[in-house]
Structure 1
Amino acid sequence: MADQTERRIEAATGRVLVADIGGTNTRVALAEGGRLVPGSVRRYRNAQFGGLEAVLGRFLEETGAARPAAACLAMAGPVHEGRGRLTNLAWTLDTEVLAAATGAETVDLLNDLQAQGHAIGHLSQEAMQVVLPGPPPRLDAPQLVVGIGTGFNAAPVYNTPRGRLVPASEAGHATLPVRTEQDLELARWITARHGFCSIEDALSGRGLPWIHDFLCERDGVPGGADSAGVLKRAAEGEGDEAARARAAVASFVRLAGGVCGDLALTLLPFGGVFLVGGMARAMAPHMGLGFAEAFRDKGRFGPFMERFAVTLVRDDDAALIGSAVHLDALLAARARS
């Protein structure tokens, strides 16, 4: 009986397909035994495809991969009962449709921050950069993953006797907190143009340009730069233009520190706070512009905030790795049942 169970587990945890679907790009890879197959990661621009099924079909065609035993897909949007719609892209994902497209017998759909949460503890030390030092993380304590990229989200991570639990969240669509008069003016400016000012409206790929446009309009000069343009002006520009760009970057960093601090107080992640996403990585050189001060600016709980270490995840494959780890555990558990 034991040998039969082991054979079932081995068959169930064979080569699988994993994907990380963002608002701009989709990354696809093969995995085996909870690890990515070396050299299998491919990246696709979403604008060149009509839907995820076409992306996965292209991947299987280009790689010549056989029908995967299973698939785990991490998407930037809410997931409910095997269906989800990307927040910043008009794609709807359905596990039954994706099973037919890939030929996989098992398809699991996660929010991308859930996948990032499953990756914690399975990434190399070289991929981790300390943003705020703190006590050594307690492995049995909750952890917090905060994603700042095309959008914004956060997810708690719980390590339980039955395995890792990463509940889904849509934290980025909560109201942006304000602390200063400028924060209030920014929130009113965004609300006047877009109807509501969420955390994601300020802390995301579009958030930095919007902060910059707000400052430009306040000073009576043209805006219109994208995130890369704002960062370039901040690093290389001169005069008032560069000063405004640096002010936008500093505002972004300070708002990010305050929101991350609020989330830390809500969840008490003594296992550490982990920043992920393209915008988080782009802002890494600028974290000294007030992230720590805003993170710990919590009145009489300021000293308490020093208990939470903050680490930046630099591995662009983290969501793929987390999907592989999660799917491996899921298939093994099913095989044992």
Structure 2
Amino acid sequence: MTRATNRFSLLADIGGTNTRVALAEGKRLLPDSIRRFSNADYPALDAVLAEYRALEGGVDCAGACVAVAGPVRGGVASMTNLDWTIDSASLSRATGAETVAILNDLQAQGHALGHLEASALRQVVAGSGDHGADPSQLVIGVGTGFNAAPVHEFPGGRIVAASECGHANLPIRTDADLRLLRFVETVHGFPGVEDVLSGRGLERVFAWVSTENGTPEERRAQDIMAAMDAREALALETGRIFVRMLGTVAGNLSLIHLPFGGVYLCGGVARAFTPWLAEFGFAEAFRDKGRFSGFMQNFAVSIIEDDYAALTGCAAHLSTQMR
């Protein structure tokens, strides 16, 4: 397929495991251009983009925007769970684009809000607050890693602040929480939120639950989810702990950022747990804030079910840079 020169933008969503690449025309994502690449098969992003452009007829793009699962500083992105470093100059060379942007992946999700189909959002906790004009929002990503980003609207445009909150300490409410923290700390050296609330975090929680049960065992995340479907006791207990911790952390972040416009959970692990949130008490854990429990009812929580939302966010953000 041959694409017109300087008509399209190239977008990439780089996770810890896969990279999704697509083209956009303005803010409109082109569904037929979306391709997925396994990061383990490539030494760097340049190789992914070179193959993608070749598959798209050597497309020459006017702009390029990538979302990365890691911190971005001074136009340079360092992947948290992948040995890739990405900078603006190399992105421009790899794509032939005159305008480039590099976002944290949660920033891209934040820029997607308001540009997603209604069917891509599933509310899991209702909110009752008076949102007012241009309310703040919050996106929380649970997948290969964990992170969150607040979304603020200003007269000059949308600001999506970056963070690395997945590497903050786990919260502790009970003696069991402390034992879990100690278990994670022994394995990883530091008890970070991501070490429980992520795909590999789910595996650590199961290892801890089975150890507490006197039957130490390790399982992959997908096998734990399958065991939950089969109603296996240890897997169900693992799921309950995971969901309760997710509710607690999401509630903490909501008190910090006051997202009267809503909280949005995204990422493969968050979507996989959607059917379990009500049964395992997500809403109760989310609102369990003592005398502020009533205040927590201001915040609605929804799941972003669009697997390509970050690409949509890249397109929306890039369009504002190319005016």
TM alignment of 1:213-232, pairs within 5 A: 213-232=207-226
1:209 aligns with 2:203: yes
Counterpart AA for 1:209 = E
1:129 aligns with 2:131: no
Q: CA deviation at 1:134?
A: 1.2
Q: CA deviation at 1:38?
A: 2.9
1:263 aligns with 2:224: no
Counterpart AA for 1:129 = R
TM alignment of 1:178-189, pairs within 5 A: 178-189=172-183
Q: CA deviation at 1:66?
A: 1.9
Aligned-residue CA RMSD (Å): 1.4
Distance in 1, matches of 2:46 and 2:290, equals 50
Among candidates 253, 258, 263, match of residue 273 of structure 1: 263
1:199 aligns with 2:190: no
Higher share in helix: 1
After TM superposition, what 4+ stretches of structure 1 lie above 4 angstroms from structure 2?
136-139
Q: Which runs of 5+ in 1 are unaligned?
A: 1-12, 333-337
Among candidates 98, 104, 119, match of residue 91 of structure 2: 98
Q: CA deviation at 1:219?
A: 1.9
- Equivalence for 1:318: 309
Counterpart AA for 1:117 = G
Q: Output one character per residue of 1:84-110: Cα deviation in whole Å (capped at 9) or x when no partner.
A: 111011111111112111111222100
TM-score by length of 1: 0.92
- Equivalence for 1:162: 156
SS of the residue corresponding to residue 283 of structure 1 reads helix
Q: 1:139 to 1:226 in 2, by over 3 A?
A: farther
- Equivalence for 2:272: 282
Identity of aligned residues (%): 51
TM alignment of 1:108-123, pairs within 5 A: 108-123=101-116
Distance in 1, matches of 2:203 and 2:7, equals 44
Aligned length: 317
Distance in 2, matches of 1:150 and 1:267, equals 24
Q: CA deviation at 1:139?
A: 5.1
SS of the residue corresponding to residue 274 of structure 1 reads strand
Q: Which runs of 5+ in 2 are unaligned?
A: 1-5
Q: 1:138 to 1:312 in 2, by over 3 A?
A: farther
Distance in 2, matches of 1:313 and 1:138, equals 23
- Equivalence for 1:21: 14
Distance in 1, matches of 2:26 and 2:93, equals 23
Tell me, yes or no, if the aligned pair for 1:139 and 1:271 is still in contact at 8 Å.
no
Distance in 1, matches of 2:172 and 2:197, equals 13
Distance in 1, matches of 2:293 and 2:230, equals 35
